[in-house]
Amino acid sequence: MYVGVVMNPIAGMGGRVGLKGTDGKVAEARERGAEPRAPERAQRAMNRLHEIAPETAVSTVADPMGERIVREAGFDPEHVVDPFTPPGEESSTADTTAAHTRTAVEAFRDGDVDLVLFVGGDGTATDVATALEGSEIPMLGVPAGVKVYSSVFAVSPEDAAEVAATFSRTERREVMDIDEDAYREGEVHPELRAVARVPVAEDLQSSKQTASGTVESLAEGVADDIRNREGDGVTYVLGPGSTVGAIKAELGFEPSPIGVDVWRDGEVVTLDATEAEILAALGEENVVVVSPIGGQGFVFGRGNPQLSPAVIRECSVTVVASRAKLDDVRALRVDTDDPELDAELAGWVRVRVGKFETRMMKIV
């Protein structure tokens, strides 16, 4: 197996500081104190790949797009692509762009790799698919972006390594992306950007985004429960999405459609909160209310990075979903950037599906 490894080092940086993505927002993300997310996830994937398939031949990209991480995992790269240096000039350390990703993947393609393993989000997936257009080389994503609507990603970094090392077949899957500026305004319109060949392994990859059913009675029931606790000082951290958004509307305030809002004792504490703002707002008793992404089943780790491990550890977790949404998933999933927390969250959980009804689902 010969794998080309490329990382978008800024993928996901805008998530925990409330930017809903990083396209065109890198400087602002850094000003808000954002920390890179992709390198740690890339390291987890490469460490696991070396653990289970140390004989894998690897090519990669000059730093900051992968070389150090590949070497630290124990691989000696067959080739290191340098997309930053113009011919005849010394190496430079320019900020990374989509063009650098495409240049690197084109080099992998010309080098006849068996798989392109990339680390990033939907934007990176689009760049990789564009560079592989017309080729039969498959691509597989290590999820590191804020938004992951495409079905070309593994569930976790470790799962990406497992798929890369063991897959025996591929299939065509959709690469989706959304306009981040519209997304920040609460409009979510995934668009098909490409169709790519992807390695297939059951239960280790996400299906594509699907729509959920109606949630009126569910929202009414949860809002009633929240109102019954007014005066008790309970802090409710209300996650993003239309399902929890219906609960927010039932409580009587205009929600941030794709943001995290904090509510306590009948009042909004913070709208569209960052991770730091959520932590500052927490009290002695805290409840985080989240709904899984339809089709994918992720409770944490897709579209809600503000709900970091630090936040989750301070809260009890309430999961809500329409019956239609749960009918589309076999199990729930978490990908919090903290494997120990992921393990703690795993197991059976009671999901609120109506005004009074619940359903047992397993987090795997």
* Topology given in CATH for the domain delimited by 216-363: Rossmann fold (3.40.50)
The residue among 16, 17, 13 whose CA lies nearest residue 26 is 13
Mean pLDDT lowest among 160-174, 194-208, 227-241: 194-208
pLDDT tens string 143-173: 998 767 788 999 899 999 999 999 989 998 8
Tens of pLDDT along 39-96? 999 999 999 999 999 999 999 999 999 999 999 999 999 999 999 876 555 544 557 8
Q: Answer whether residue 208 shows pLDDT above 50.
A: no
What whole-number distance in Å separates Cα of residue 309 and Cα of residue 118?
A: 24
Fold exhibited by the domain 2-199: Rossmann fold (3.40.50)
Report the alpha-carbon distance of residue 270 to residue 145 in Å, rounded: 24
pLDDT exceeds 80 at position 185: no
What is the tens place of the pLDDT at every residue in 268-318? 999 999 999 999 999 999 999 999 975 679 999 888 989 999 999 999 999
CA-based diameter of the chain, in Å?
Answer: 71
pLDDT given at position 36: 79
Token couple for 135: 């080729």
Q: What is the mean pLDDT of the chain?
A: 87
d(C-alpha 45, C-alpha 260), whole Å: 29
Alpha-carbon dihedral of residues 302, 10, 100, 79, nearest 10 degrees? -90
What's the pTM? 0.65
Extract the tokens encoding 41: 């996830």
pLDDT recorded at residue 86: 64
Residue 242: the pLDDT is: 86
Tokens 């808000």, residue?
A: 32
Between the two ends of the chain, the Cα-to-Cα distance in Å is: 29
Tell me, what's the pLDDT at 187?
58
- Where along the chain do the CATH 3.40.50.10330 domains lie? 2-199
Can you say whether the dihedral through the CA atoms of 158, 164, 170, 175 is positive or negative?
positive
